[in-house]
């Protein structure tokens, strides 16, 4: 029987569907037909596969060849099916035993000379194969480390089609000549997309500079406390202040305060970056919180995901389990900012396109930074601003109320004075000191929330906070008076209570007391309540 089948994976976002690749040879005029909803790049695999097979020293079958991708109703895209198509053809031609191919998943692109090139999305593809019950996967050699992150799957990394044929046919495996030392590995080219190279600052760069330390920030006790509370409870943060006050410095130091990702979180983050083509070479697993800071000219598609054909992940997904920093937030388009509401509420983003619907994870910590006015010098303490009141209102109104209502912490960052810059005293707390406190606070919250679907205080619904976990009697009196005066909404009161629980976790209190709620009110409204503005002074 001139028929063989093997498997590959079709990706839609970070979710995959196992596709059966079938090859059938019949007598007739030599032709190669590919069916099963392939896109342009997949249709071109006919020429790539034929050349790769011939250049690997195997005779191409001179018969009518039909390759089917099943299920035929699922759109297929990309060049990752090449290796599976070649194996199925060789199985139908009886160069390889068809029974060996049936339970193997193959992912990889073929060069014309038979070399196997990596493709984006190896990790989510192998995860999909494991979920479907497959235990053997063949991937390019350079992506074997990434595929090996999935437990319970046997991974074979090959560098060429010749090696794959030898392994499947139980023949001596030929040695492939390594590339010259000191030259870029051409096999890694498939892991990159345009716009992520060295000139963009993203090629091989860490998510944030490990040399950034919180002790470098001069002054700003309220802002430093807000950053610590944001890291401990997963609360969104809004920093408003003049240029040069340290807003960007604080945001850049926030990822280092977050705990290291768990194994499951690391797989989620790595899968998104693998699909986007942003995995650093030689680092198959991302275990630190990512940091993404798009330019204020970014479009809605670049923020939430999109693009032609099957949608690609945007900034909200690339910052999943990490920090999304929007500097100069009022300069972003209103459409792009309002598109953030869904991922902020749901923790994921769903993108519908004509080519299909994809779902990307998007549970991130958002940091907004803005100047008080177009010139940036507006302040109640001096009169340096030259903007008209109408221009100031217009500038500040670019941030919609529904978006700001989802931000728990709002802090005004003051201008740094000459005295603070010239001071030679003890610097502020270091990143290591604050990170230890954040880790302890997260452990307290995790112990309290054990057995629930929530992991941080920012995720707990307000009704649960009011019915299951109570503050110290009388602690909410000031917040309730603010609600009666209209200074707080009911949703705002819930958010104050969430922040108060985070402050209590940082200070080691079993339940929020009046001081914890006062600090939460200060961080929410910006009105001083007579409480210390450093967590260290409250412990």
HEC assignment per residue over 132-180: CCCCEEEEEHHHHHHHCCCCCCEEEEECEHHHHHHHHCCCCCCCCCCCC
Return the pLDDT at 530: 64
- Number of Cβ within 10 Å of residue 247's Cβ equals 25
Is residue 18 within 8 Å of residue 132, measured between CB atoms?
Answer: yes
Return the pLDDT at 537: 52
- Number of Cβ within 10 Å of residue 342's Cβ equals 15
Return the pLDDT at 10: 94
Return the pLDDT at 211: 66
Q: What is the DSSP letter of 452?
A: S
Residue 377: C-alpha distances to residues 143, 173, 237, 370, 501 (Å): 51, 70, 21, 12, 35
Is residue 496 within 8 Å of residue 462, measured between CB atoms?
Answer: no
Return the pLDDT at 364: 95
3-state secondary structure at position 264: helix
User: Long-range contacts of range 161-165, CB-CB < 8 Å, 24 or more positions apart?
Assistant: 161/52, 161/53, 161/56, 161/83, 161/86, 161/110, 161/114, 161/115, 161/116, 162/56, 162/57, 162/114, 164/83, 164/87, 164/116, 164/138, 165/56, 165/58, 165/90, 165/95, 165/96
| pTM recorded for the entire structure | 0.87
Q: For residue 403, what is the enclosing H or E element?
A: helix 401-404
Is residue 447 within 8 Å of residue 456, measured between CB atoms?
Answer: no
Distance in angstroms between the alpha carbons of the first and the last residue of the chain:
77
CA 279/CA 196 separation, integer angstroms: 10
Residue 111 phi, psi (nearest 5): -85, 165
Is residue 123 within 8 Å of residue 271, measured between CB atoms?
Answer: yes
Return the pLDDT at 538: 59
Return the pLDDT at 178: 64
Return the pLDDT at 489: 81
Return the pLDDT at 424: 63
Extract the tokens encoding 306: 């999109």
Residue 316: C-alpha distances to residues 98, 250, 326 (Å): 44, 20, 11
Query: Which residues of the chain carry a pLDDT beneath 70?
Result: 1, 178-211, 281, 309, 355, 380-382, 424-426, 529-530, 532-534, 536-539
Q: What is the DSSP letter of 36?
A: S
3-state secondary structure at position 440: helix
3-state secondary structure at position 61: coil
- E strands of 281-404, at which residues? 291-292, 323-326, 348-353, 356-361, 365-370
Q: What is the DSSP letter of 286?
A: -
């Amino acid at each position: 029987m001139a028929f063989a089948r093997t498997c590959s994976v079709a990706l839609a976002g970070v979710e995959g569907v196992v596709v059966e690749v079938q090859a059938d040879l019949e007598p007739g005029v030599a032709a190669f037909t590919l069916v099963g909803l392939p896109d342009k790049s997949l249709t071109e695999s006919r020429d790539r596969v034929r050349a790769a097979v011939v250049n690997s020293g195997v005779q191409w079958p001179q018969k009518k060849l039909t390759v089917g991708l099943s299920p035929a109703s699922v759109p297929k895209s990309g060049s990752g099916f090449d290796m599976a198509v070649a194996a199925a053809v060789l199985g139908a031609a009886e160069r390889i035993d068809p029974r060996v191919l049936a339970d193997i998943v193959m992912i990889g692109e073929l060069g014309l000379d038979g070399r196997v090139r990596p493709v984006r999305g190896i990790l989510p593809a192998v995860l999909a194969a494991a979920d479907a019950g497959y235990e053997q996967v063949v991937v390019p050699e350079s992506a074997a480390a990434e595929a090996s992150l999935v437990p319970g799957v046997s991974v074979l990394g090959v560098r060429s089609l010749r090696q794959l044929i030898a392994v499947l046919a139980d023949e001596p495996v030929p040695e492939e000549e390594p590339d010259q030392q000191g030259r870029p590995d051409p096999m890694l080219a498939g892991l990159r997309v345009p716009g992520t190279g060295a000139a963009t600052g993203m090629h091989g760069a860490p998510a944030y500079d490990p040399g950034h330390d919180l002790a470098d920030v001069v002054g700003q006790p309220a802002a430093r406390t807000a950053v610590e509370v944001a890291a401990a409870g997963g609360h969104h943060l809004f920093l408003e202040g003049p240029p040069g006050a340290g807003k960007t410095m604080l945001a850049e130091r926030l990822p280092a305060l977050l705990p290291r990702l768990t194994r499951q979180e690391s797989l989620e983050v790595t899968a998104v970056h693998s699909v986007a083509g942003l995995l650093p070479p030689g680092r198959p697993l991302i275990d630190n919180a990512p940091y993404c800071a798009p330019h204020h000219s970014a479009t809605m598609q670049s923020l939430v995901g999109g693009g032609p054909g099957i949608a690609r992940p945007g900034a909200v997904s690339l910052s999943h389990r990490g920090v999304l920093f929007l500097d100069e937030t009022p300069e972003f388009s209103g459409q792009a900012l309002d598109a953030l509401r869904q991922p902020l509420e749901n923790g994921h983003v769903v993108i519908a396109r004509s080519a299909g619907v994809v779902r990307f994870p998007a549970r991130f910590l958002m940091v907004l930074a803005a100047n008080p006015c177009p010139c940036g010098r507006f302040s109640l303490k001096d009169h340096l601003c030259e903007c008209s009141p109408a221009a100031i209102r217009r500038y500040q109104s670019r941030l919609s109320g529904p978006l700001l209502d989802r931000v728990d912490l709002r802090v005004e960052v003051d201008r740094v004075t000459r005295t603070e810059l010239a001071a030679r005293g003890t610097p502020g707390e270091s990143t290591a000191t604050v990170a230890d406190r954040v880790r302890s606070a997260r452990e307290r919250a995790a112990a309290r929330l054990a057995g629930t679907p929530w992991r941080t205080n920012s995720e707990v619904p307000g009704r649960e906070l009011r019915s299951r976990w109570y503050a110290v009697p009388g602690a909410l009196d000031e917040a309730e008076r603010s609600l009666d005066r209209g200074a707080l909404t009911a949703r705002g009161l819930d958010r104050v209570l969430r922040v108060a629980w985070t402050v209590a976790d940082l200070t080691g209190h079993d339940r929020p007391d009046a001081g914890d709620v006062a600090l939460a009110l200060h961080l929410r409204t910006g009105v001083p309540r007579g409480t210390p503005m450093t967590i260290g002074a409250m412990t």
